[in-house]
């Protein structure tokens, strides 16, 4: 599997702007693998194994990032909706709903 930024890493280009944490770690790892391979510090088999480990870790971390980003997006949407509802109609029920939105429905006195 080739990662979206792998060709840049292969050429030892600077880390592209806008990469996520998982992308940045994978990018730096790939740069090092390609450097070591180019300097004949490691062979093709070892380089391939190292790259597979980097890709596996990237897939796991990217999945976690995507999940958390989606959770944040959903939480922000619920808070915005509850805020708008409260500002339009300042009732104790709407205030309670806003508090629940902030605590993701988990608020306990």
pLDDT band at 103 (very low <50, low <70, confident <90, very high): confident
Whether 51 contacts 6, CB under 8 Å: no
User: What's the rounded Cα separation, in Å, for the pair 90 and 98?
Assistant: 11
Contacting residues for 44 by C-beta, under 8 A, at least 6 apart: 37
**CB crowding 2-28: b at 16 or more within 10 Å, else e:** ebebbebbbeeeeeeeeeeebbeebbe
| Residues 15-51: tens digit of each pLDDT | 999 999 999 999 999 999 999 999 999 999 999 999 9
């Amino acid at each position: 599997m080739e990662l979206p930024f792998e060709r840049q890493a292969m050429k030892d280009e600077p880390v592209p702007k806008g990469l996520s944490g998982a992308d940045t770690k994978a990018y730096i790892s790939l740069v090092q693998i390609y450097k070591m391979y180019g300097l004949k510090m490691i062979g093709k088999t070892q380089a391939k194994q190292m790259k597979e480990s980097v890709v596996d870790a990237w897939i796991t971390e990217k999945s976690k990032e995507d999940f958390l980003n989606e959770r944040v997006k959903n939480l922000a949407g619920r808070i915005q909706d509850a805020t708008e509802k409260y500002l339009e109609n300042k009732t104790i029920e709407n205030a309670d709903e806003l508090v629940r939105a902030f605590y993701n429905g988990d608020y306990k006195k």
